[in-house]
Structure 1
């Protein structure tokens, strides 16, 4: 690590592009602080993975994914919040629909990518397919979805002349991504997996292989890698919230690797993110278990209607937005009974009206969403 060289700037005429060095090589980890943080991160991840066995992950996984989708997209300037992520397109204001589509694509990309891991390794094919889903029908759908770029791109600045950073030229992308893929799948390389994915994320963002969506794909790769290596049984750790809250540091630390060859600082920042995010995850799961107990006590006030209310509550853990149609669908009851149960749940404070309209009212399971927004 002391002799780490990130790469070099290459003169391309009227601009200079950064050509990183390959990462698939022997690494000697000799930074005591990095090793100490790695040990803490491993422990916290183990706790999170074990803790997840105490709750029905399949029930809550949509919430984790919705939070990741909204936070990762927020870094790119998208303004959809978690409640809106669960609404139908017709219920979204016209000016926010493009944002909403991007968040929905991110949710689809995560779900599909996790499924693909059962039949594909962590690879260019997986990365490209994930990117294709991410951009379909969204603002970037004309920017070669699912294909590595065939032209130069840049980050920051009004033009390439005043860009903050210019990634490598397009003719070298396949070599860099092939090197990244080999590094990710080299079982003989003794590099700890958390440090491996930290390096993979840095290298991916540096190569910037797509015309659009690099940030979102790069952040998603972190979770996919941890699942592919069996470090997490389910995709329940997402660093986008940490990166969003520390956005300036995130970009500064990535850039510092390129300008000062300071890989140690990036690894420390990344591992700190894993530690903090895993702790928040455990806290969220603890909150879910307490909320379940509290809701069980609350619903006992409904007497004969408790069973229907519990079925509705199970639905709310999967999708925290509710209207009378959902209650009818879940309980099979007539409209009058469904309206009465909805009023009961509202009076008990289980759900809160969120639209402020007289017709087509929608309700939100706010105490549940708050666990994820504050976690």
Structure 2
């Protein structure tokens, strides 16, 4: 394969039999086992919307970090509404989470992942609708300045994306395990590079939505971007090795390992969230007459909440919302923290589960 030519149609370029090697088959068993367990554990939480909110925002943060869009957990959790002030990075992360939700809704409604869905996802990411790029994509160069890859020219993009759409949705076109197909789809999308901006983040959303489409997941809670952040150099080198040396097997093994690792971590995270949620339900219900499922949903959708959020979610007055939150803080279930002119109430155990760190203390 020429490294300067457009990416070929996958179904013609790569045979499914190529991935029936002992190494790939062994890794497929392990990755699928962890993924199936993740799906089951996620289904054990009655309100899966909590997981979509919490884990979706985490995936958004990690995926954006790959593109050097960096924000802190503290900023992200306290500025978790589209109209919130905050840094440009925090806003871009929220846009990613919104784009993931749009794509998830489309896949659930249609059972497909189409080119139009991908356009909608990218538009939500970028907050604009430029469509496919009309100019040549940026060439990739190595450390010596040598061109190692040139994305396909704009006039080829509609046909290439149409081919990719068929590859995604027509199971008979390429009869392989969906995890193998996901790896191939991701590489093909990254090589087509159809947009001016947001290609990497769009491609990572496509990964998890494809697994939802294939019913390997019920909700988009596989947190692949975390594994890519940890192995960023390997990610880019293996992408390029396919273009230069046709090293598809190594690329597939890399992606399968990422699925296995992040699914295992996701299982632990969800189990910890479930245990904490049940503990809070029992403790609040035993002591406070204002217990409700809406309150629990609010406290576990994000680690930070505030009076306005309780007002909105529980349909209560500001005075009542303040009384509820102060009572929970007095019991040690939340920690009250003043930030500027606002009081935030932090679910510290949930923050630790999601981030592995303690939330900041003190005023800002």
Higher mean C-alpha deviation, range 200-209 or range 347-356: 347-356
* Cα distance change of structure 1 residues 18 and 367 upon mapping to structure 2, 3 Å threshold: farther
Deviation at 1:369, TM superposition (A): 2.8
Deviation above 6 Å: which 4+ runs of structure 1? none
- Which residue does 1:343 correspond to in 2? 326
Q: Mark the CA change 1:52 to 1:91 in structure 2 (over 3 Å): closer, same or farther.
A: closer
Which residue is equivalent to 1:166? 150
- The SS at the match of 1:363 is strand
Counterpart among 16, 19, 36 of residue 27 in structure 1: 16
| Change in CA separation of 1:365 and 1:146 when aligned onto 2, cut-off 3 Å | farther
8 Å Cα contact 2:99-2:124 kept in structure 1: yes
**Secondary structure at 1:181 match in 2:** helix
TM-score by length of 2: 0.86
Task: For 2:208 and 2:71, locate their aligned partners in 1 and report how far apart those are by CA, in whole Å.
Answer: 22
Q: Is the CA contact 1:300–1:306 (under 8 Å) kept in the aligned structure 2?
A: yes
- Greater Cα shift, 17-26 or 249-258: 17-26
Structure 2 equivalent of residue 41 of structure 1 = 31
CA 1:372 to 1:82, structure 2 compared with 1: closer, same or farther past 3 Å? same
- Does the CA-based 8 Å contact 1:8-1:18 persist in structure 2? yes
Q: Which moved more, 1:29-38 or 1:194-203?
A: 29-38
Corresponding position: 1:8 with 2:8: no
Instruction: Find out whether 1:52 has 2:5 as its counterpart.
Output: no
Deviations 1:36-60 (A, max 9, x none): 0011111111111111221121232
Gap change, CA 1:271 and 1:337, over 3 Å in 2: same
Q: Give, in angstroms, the shift of residue 243 of structure 1.
A: 0.8
- Among 216, 222, 236, which residue is 1:237 paired with? 222
Shift of 1:164: 5.6
Give the TM-score of the pair, scaled to structure 1: 0.83
1:176 aligns with 2:164: no
Structure-2 change in CA distance of 1:50 and 1:335 (3 Å): closer
Q: Number of matched residues?
A: 349
- Structure-2 separation of matches of 1:331 and 1:179: 47
CA RMSD of aligned residues (A): 2.8
Structure 1 residue 241 displacement after superposition: 1.3
What is the Cα deviation at residue 280 of structure 1? 1.1
Rounded to whole Å, the distance in 1 between the matches of 2:312 and 2:111 is: 37
1:3 — aligned with what? Answer: none
Residue of structure 2 in register with 1:69 after alignment: 60
Equivalent residue for 2:308? 325
Moved more, 23-32 or 127-136: 23-32
TM-superposed deviation, 1:194? 0.7
Whole-Å separation in 1 of the counterparts to 2:227 and 2:338: 30
Indicate conservation of the 8 Å contact 1:129/1:146, yes or no. no
Q: Distance in 1 between matches of 2:105 and 2:320?
A: 39
Quote the residue 2:85 is aligned against: 92
Q: Which residue of 2 aligns with 1:12?
A: none
Shift of 1:113: 1.2
Out of 289, 296, 311, the position equivalent to 1:313 is 296
Q: Unmatched 5+ residue regions in structure 1? A: 1-6, 10-16
Output the CA distance in 1 between the equivalents of 2:185 and 2:83: 39
Quick one: distance in 2 between partners of 1:149 and 1:342?
A: 49
- List gaps (5 residues or longer) in structure 2: 358-364
Q: Is the 8 A contact 1:156 1:163 kept in 2?
A: yes
Give the CA deviation at 1:260. 1.9
